[in-house]
Amino acid sequence: MKQLSKDQWRKIHGIKEPKDPADPNVVARRMLHESIVQWELKWINRLHLVSASLAFAIVLFPVINKTWYGFVTSIPVVSWIHREFSSFSGVLIFSLAVGLFFYFYSASKIDGKSYSEYGYPINLSQIRSAENILHGELYPRTKIEEKVFFADFAGGVWMATVFWFVAFGGISFLIKSGGQ
Top-confidence residue, 82 or 178: 82
Structure letter (DSSP) for residue 22:
P
- pLDDT of amino acid 164: 96
Q: Tell me, yes or no, if the pTM score tops 0.75.
A: yes
Task: Return the pLDDT at 1.
Answer: 46
| DSSP helix/strand/coil, 116 | strand
pLDDT at 89 > cutoff 60 = yes
Crossing angle (nearest 10°) for helices 30-55 and 143-160: 20
Asked whether residue 73 carries a pLDDT value surpassing 90, the answer given is yes
The residue among 109, 167, 168, 97 whose CA lies nearest residue 142 is: 109
Domain residue spans of the chain: 23-178
Please give the sequence-ordered ranges of beta strands (E in DSSP) within 48-142, or none if there are none. Answer: none
How confident is the model over 105-128, as pLDDT tens digits? Answer: 877 776 655 545 556 776 566 677
